[in-house]
Chains A and B, each alone.
Chain A
Amino acid sequence: MDITVNILLTIATAATPLLIAAIGELVVERSGVLNLGVEGMMIMGAVGGFGAGYLTGSPWIGLLAAIALGAVFSLLFAVMTLSLATNQVATGLSLTLLGLGLSGMMGTSFVGQPGARLPNLDIPGLTAIPVIGRLLFGQDPIFYISIALTAAVMWFLFKTRTGLTLRSIGDSHTSAHALGIQVIRYRYLAVIFGGACAGLAGGHLSLVYTPQWVENMTAGRGWIALALVVFASWRPWRVLAGAYIFGAVWIGQLHAQAFGIPVPSQLLSSLPYLATIVVLVLISRNKRLTMMNTPASLGQPFVPDR
């Protein structure tokens, strides 16, 4: 029983950064913007979170720094694609490349240093309940944030007027603009929200998952988060499900390596990436359904005419 609980806990830890980054990107894409810089913003959050936690000794300050750095970094993307109407695919790629380089540079002195870890929740009495105690009341704080965030985004997108407006912008920015909606302003806020989420996801990696700084420690998670959004057909609860499936794949291959299964460890390590491809194939196969789900103005630059 204890083993099962432990495995479930590690799956949740692996799924949390994917979930947060994907939920952020989902809001961005719902507004009609494709930000391929998730990996870059995430790694900036990871290095910023670790650095601030390490220098101040407080993982909480690290957490805030991770969010702030992700948001600030995404602002670069927003200025480029929204104010200067640059190609979103290319700009997102350059954000990722810049983030990987900058974080490597900023993190040079952090390599090999012991980091500060965010403490797990511990509620006297509740956490000690067998089995469900640790699952419900004994996880790291970002886990609870990730669940709350998913619920909040669901409510925001589908139950509020602002959410409806945001979705309408994603489906047709020209119509939204004609109705007097401030398309660019909404998109700025969405992109910054996505950046903050990606930063938080990176912070989870360097403050909870492995409390240390390793170069390129995001290891493609930002890209998997992007794939999760497609997999989820732009629906928050499906992102939640997808993130946990991928968390399970990630943890499963680690456990398989630890058990010494007679399969090359590299093959096991490549499973999350191969699984991403398989999942994308399965979900995109139906062209009509995909077209129906995809925000119609996704990735198209918008320049208000006047």
Chain B
Amino acid sequence: MMRLELVKRPQRSMLFSALSPFIAFMLTIIAGAILFALLGVNPLKAFQIYFLEPVSQVWQLHELAIKAAPLILIGVGLSVCYRANIWNIGAEGQFILGGIVGSSIPVLFPQFEGPLVLPLMLLFGMVGGAAYAAIPALLKTRFNTNEILTSLMLVYVAQLFLDWLVRGPWRDPKGFNFPQTIQFNDSAILPELMPASGRANWGFVFALVAAVLVWILMSRMLKGFEVRVLGSSPRAGRFAGFGINRMVFFAFMLSGALAGLAGISEVSGAIGQLQPVISPGYGFAAIIVAFLGRLNPLGIVAAGLVLALTYLGGEAVQSALGISDKVARVFQGMLLFFVLGCDTLIHYRIRLIGFAAPKLESAPKLEEAR
């Protein structure tokens, strides 16, 4: 049988480290072409609609920035977690809680106006996200509970909590029974950057600032070193006196705060009120963003733009070709698959072994030895 064999490289390949996201993107394009062909659509035409038309006009670039902002914010936070080998996959829930806690100000105090409203909302959003992320951190450090499962379960809980709020206590009394809160007052709306040319708001700036700050944290500060040491070798980290439990809280709450900031920015920027659903899966897509960006904050900015484009492209092919916009999810999933696969090339060379490979080197079978 034909099989693959991995041969460890003496050191990590810088070449493939830089190339792998691009190879992955090419493979996704090829797989996407096959997918479109199977759906009976001319791949070239589909790609034109998917990747080019959504960014062919200035106002569309604004839409791209709106979609990219939460992906970058969350992805940057998650990269710190994943570097530390801590698996927060509940960013979607932290995003929602950030949106809820931040929105509590305009919803509960609609009379409260002025320049203080927005900063307070953003702060509340970050606190909400961080606090929600602290739950799996607490359970992991105190009770040794698997953070993957608990953080994910909390996503469902957050979604249901939001659903309850907007259908129950926070529902707009004059909203004709629609499940939504009141429209936020003007001072609770995140301003647009360049209202003349499009809708993009300050959320995108937050994303860029967060990326730069986390990049400085990770590459220039002791805390970033601590993250990397504990991530690659917890034992070495312990000898160096780095506390694992503190790191779990740090990583979870940092990523939670950023996801919460993304949540409240989305609600007060793009939406303007709370609704039963405030995220098209940003928290999960951001996992892909983090890996596609090589867990590097600056790479994540680029990756966030790419993933934002897959969202816009999905909407475009749906309206132009009648293909389900779920195609975006498929593209995102394939992209992550190919990135992970290509990353193997950084550490290994791949050798293909032919059909009748002589098994000279195979050890004697257990049964034969007996």
Contacts and interface: CB of A to CB of B under 8 A. Distances in A.
Contacts of A83: 3-4, 6
A220 B156 contact: yes
B341 A84 contact: yes
Nearest to A264: B164
Nearest to A274: B157
B362 to A, nearest CB: 7
Main SS of the interface on chain A?
helix
Q: Which of B4, B145, B287, B334 has the most CB of A within 10 A?
A: B145
A36 B148 contact: yes
A90 B153 contact: no
A225 B31 CA distance: 31
Interface stretch (A140-148, A151-159, A281-289): A281-289
B175 to A, nearest CB: 19
Contacts of A6: none
Given A180-B366, A181-B366, A266-B160, A281 B336 contact: no
B324 A102 contact: no
Given A90-B336, A284-B145, A306-B361, A105 B4 contact: no
A209 interface: no
A97 B288 contact: yes
A90 B291 CA distance: 9
Nearest to A291: B144
A90 B144 CA distance: 21
A75 interface: no
A14 interface: no
B326 A281 contact: no
A220 B93 CA distance: 14
B25 interface: no
A45 B40 CA distance: 24
A303 B333 contact: no
Contacts of B284: 97
Nearest to A223: B152
Contacts of A219: 156
Interface in A93-123: 93-95, 97-102, 104-105, 108
Contacts of B332: 97, 101
B143 A80 contact: no
B119 interface: no
Interface string A63-100: 00000000000001000100111110111011101111
Contact of B160 (A89, A100, A267, A303): A267
Contacts of A87: 340
Contacts of A303: 6, 8, 348
B174 interface: no
A98 B337 CA distance: 9
B330 A93 contact: no
B354 interface: no
B337 A277 contact: no
Contact of A101 (B8, B163, B328): B328
Nearest to B151: A277
Contacts of B326: 101-102, 104-105, 108
A186 interface: no
B89 interface: yes
Contacts of A84: 4, 6, 340-341, 344, 350
Interface string A267-285: 1011001101100110011
B139 interface: yes
B168 interface: yes
A290 interface: yes
A227 interface: yes
Contacts of A305: 8
A179 interface: yes
Contacts of A276: 149, 153
Contact of B153 (A180, A220, A290): A220
B157 A270 contact: yes
Nearest to B285: A97
A28 to B, nearest CB: 15
A167 to B, nearest CB: 15
Contacts of A179: 363, 366
B340 A90 contact: yes
Nearest to A103: B326
Interface string A197-208: 000000000000
A226 B334 CA distance: 23
Given A86-B343, A280-B149, A100 B87 contact: no
A286 B82 CA distance: 25
Interface in A7-41: 36
Contact of B149 (A80, A178, A230): A230
Contacts of A99: 333
Contact of A277 (B154, B167, B341): B154
Contacts of A230: 146, 149
A284 B157 contact: no
B329 A266 contact: no
A252 B284 CA distance: 30
Contacts of B291: 90
Interface string B255-295: 00000000000000000000000000000110110010000
Nearest to A219: B156
A177 B365 CA distance: 11
Nearest to B39: A105
A86 B334 contact: no
Q: Name the 9 nearest CB pairs between A and B, nearest first.
A: A101-B329, A98-B333, A104-B326, A94-B336, A266-B164, A266-B160, A105-B326, A101-B330, A180-B363
Given A98-B336, A100-B333, A179-B366, 7 more contacts: A86-B343, A90-B336, A97-B284, A97-B329, A104-B324, A273-B156, A303-B348
27 contacts: A83-B3, A83-B4, A84-B4, A84-B344, A84-B350, A90-B291, A90-B336, A97-B329, A97-B333, A98-B333, A100-B329, A101-B328, A101-B330, A101-B331, A102-B326, A104-B324, A105-B323, A219-B156, A220-B156, A223-B149, A264-B168, A267-B160, A267-B164, A276-B149, A277-B153, A287-B144, A303-B8
